[in-house]
Amino acid sequence: MFSCEECGELRIKKQSIVIGKKNYCSAKCQNIGNMGTKHSEETKLKISKITKQKLTNPLTIEKMRNAKLGKKQPQHVVDKRTKTMRKIMKTDEYKIKHHNSMLGKVCSPETREKIADSRRGDKHWTNYLPYTDEHKSKLREKRLHQVFPTKDSKPERMFQLALTLRGIRFQKHKAMLGQPDIFIEPNICVFVDGDFWHAHPEKYDANDTVIGDKKAHDIWKNDLDITHKLNKQGYIVFRIWESDILDDADNWAKAILETVQCCVDPSLWRNSHG
């Protein structure tokens, strides 16, 4: 017979848990009795080794999985684990290890299809965040200053050169609605629309899929909405297809020049002679 060090109950030796010189009647009493106790480095290594051996045992893994089925951990435990994992994932050691573990791995067609199905119809991630109207307006303003693609296309460069040769001053990709490719003070917006990206009507039918899931008529509607909104704000809008500029950029530059001469104060532009 022995007396438990924690609860004091009398037990027979075969049912005891012996830690050093202390006897406990159960694992619960053992945990309570060991609270605040610090293990030596040697003991920690032993515990770690034994734990790793148990965790690699398929029977132990299955027992742990079954024990956790249907159980939810307290929120403070979830938050603590999340906080710890975020710290670990930011370390270079983890990033390298994760990268190396994924090298050479190819998803099966079934897995790819499952991933695609799970993401179909998803809204943009910003729609799930509790943004205020003020924050959303700031994001829209930031987006106006981003230029995609970062380099001007060949038709845009050709048209810019044609305008420069005629002495027309302009601003590229002005941060405003629609982000016109060329803006001429005070109110002239010029869009150089790519035949593919804006679905040239001579090359695409209304129901043709052009970009991702976008139909040609959706792209036309979006461009038309931008044009109407700019017109209501008092802007003169030119939309020129890239194929038209490639055929005759000079003629379109001449049309812009005539508009500038009619609508703009002569002091705001200079002729090609200086």
pLDDT of amino acid 125? 63
Class of domain 154-268: alpha beta
Beta-strand pair 214-215/209-211: antiparallel
Q: Which residues contact 188 (CB under 8 A, 6 or more apart)?
A: 235, 236, 238, 256, 259, 260, 263, 264
Is 243:195 a contact under the CB 8 Å cutoff?
A: yes
Burial of 218 (0-12, 13-18, 19+ CB in 10 A): middle
Q: Which residues contact 175 (CB under 8 A, 6 or more apart)?
A: 141, 144, 145
pLDDT at 10 over 50: yes
Tell me which H or E stretch contains 18. Answer: strand 17-19
Burial of 163 (0-12, 13-18, 19+ CB in 10 A): buried
pLDDT at 70 over 50: yes
pLDDT of amino acid 213? 79
Give buried/exposed letters for 189-206 (b at 16+ CB in 10 A, else e): bbbbbebeebbbeeebee
| Angle ∠(261,267,272) on CA atoms, nearest 5 | 65
pLDDT of amino acid 268? 47
Q: What is the pTM of this model?
A: 0.50
At 271, is the pLDDT very low, low, confident or very high (cuts 50, 70, 90)?
Answer: very low
Give the dihedral of Cα atoms 60, 61, 62, 66; nearest 10 deg: 100
pLDDT for 222-270, tens place per residue?
Answer: 999 999 999 999 999 999 999 999 998 888 898 888 888 876 555 544 4
pLDDT of amino acid 225? 95
Percent of the chain topping pLDDT 90:
27
Arithmetic mean of pLDDT, 129-158: 83
Distance CA 146, CA 144 (A): 6
pLDDT for 161-170, tens place per residue?
Answer: 999 998 889 9
Domain boundaries, the chain: 1-36, 38-71, 72-105, 154-268
